[in-house]
Amino acid sequence: MAQYPLQEGNDTAIADGLNYLLSGPAGLGQDFNGYEQWTPGYLTGNFRIPYTQLSFDRDCTGTSGNAFVSANPNAKNIMPGMSVSGYGIAGGTTVTSIGGTTTDGIQVNLSAAITQDISNGLTFSPNPVPQLFVDNIPCSSAVQLDDYTFQYNFTAPVSPAPFQIGNNISGVAWANDWYNDRWPRQGVIACTTTHVIVSTTNYSPGKGDDFGGGSVKYFVTRDVPDVYAISTDCNSKIVVNGGNDRVFISAQLNNKITYTATTPSDLSYGVAINRYKGYPNNDAANPGYVFDLDKLIAKRVYTFSGLTGTKITLDNIETIFSNFPDTNIAPAYYWYILDVSYQITNGGDLQINESELGLRSMSTQTVKQ
Position 14 scores a pLDDT of 66
- Whether the per-residue pLDDT at 18 is higher than 70: the answer is no
Among 170, 185, 219, the domain boundary falls at 219
The model's pLDDT over 20-58, given as tens digits with 9 standing for 90+, comes to 666 555 555 467 899 999 999 999 998 888 899 999 999
Total domains in the chain come to: 3
Instruction: State how far the Cα of 133 lies from the Cα of 242, in Å rounded to an integer.
Output: 44
- Of 262, 222, 252, nearest to 363 by C-alpha is 252
The model's pLDDT over 72-90, given as tens digits with 9 standing for 90+, comes to 988 999 999 999 999 999 9
Across the chain, what does the average pLDDT equal?
91
Q: Is residue 6 part of a domain?
A: no
Position 37 scores a pLDDT of 94
Shared-domain flag, residues 142 and 110: no
- Whether the per-residue pLDDT at 291 is higher than 60: the answer is yes
The model's pLDDT over 153-201, given as tens digits with 9 standing for 90+, comes to 999 999 999 999 999 999 999 999 999 989 987 899 999 999 999 999 8
- Whether the per-residue pLDDT at 1 is higher than 70: the answer is no
Which CATH number belongs to the domain containing residue 184 in this structure?
Answer: 2.40.30
Position 300 scores a pLDDT of 95
Q: Is residue 194 part of a domain?
A: yes
Domain around 98: 56-125
Q: Is residue 176 part of a domain?
A: yes
Of 348 and 9, more confident: 348
Shared-domain flag, residues 256 and 300: yes
Shared-domain flag, residues 355 and 247: yes
Shared-domain flag, residues 227 and 210: no
Q: Is residue 115 part of a domain?
A: yes
Position 8 scores a pLDDT of 65
Among 165, 198, 219, the domain boundary falls at 219
Q: What is the mean pLDDT of residues 277-305?
A: 90
Q: Is residue 105 part of a domain?
A: yes
How many residues are there in the chain?
Answer: 369
Q: Is residue 19 part of a domain?
A: no
- Whether the per-residue pLDDT at 123 is higher than 90: the answer is yes
Instruction: State how far the Cα of 156 lies from the Cα of 194, in Å rounded to an integer.
Output: 7
Shared-domain flag, residues 210 and 191: yes
Report pTM. 0.85
Position 130 scores a pLDDT of 93
Shared-domain flag, residues 265 and 211: no
- Res. 223 pLDDT band, cuts 50 70 90: confident
Q: Is residue 16 part of a domain?
A: no
Shared-domain flag, residues 226 and 329: yes
Q: Is residue 3 part of a domain?
A: no
Give the CA count within 13 Å in the CB-facing half-sphere of 62: 29
Shared-domain flag, residues 147 and 271: no
Task: Map the chain to HEC letters.
Answer: CCCCCCCCCCHHHHHHHHHHHHCCCCCCCCEEEEEEECCCEEECCCCCCCCEEECEEEEEEECCCCCEEEEECCCCCCCCCCEEECCCCCCCCEEEEEEEEECCEEEEEECCCCCCCEEEEEEEECCCCCCCEEEEEEEEEEEECCCCEEEEEECCCCCCCCCCCCCCCEEECCCCHHHCEECCCCEEEEECCCEEEEECCCCCCCCCCECCCEEEEEECCECCCCCCCEEEEEEEEEEECCCCEEEEEEEEEEEEEEEEEEEEEEEEEEEEEEEEEEEECCCCCCCCEEEEEEEEEEEEEEEEEEEEEEEEECCCEEEEEEEEEECCCCCEEEEEEEEEEEEECCCCCCEEEEEEEEEEEEEEEEEEC
Instruction: State how far the Cα of 17 lies from the Cα of 6, in Å rounded to an integer.
Output: 9
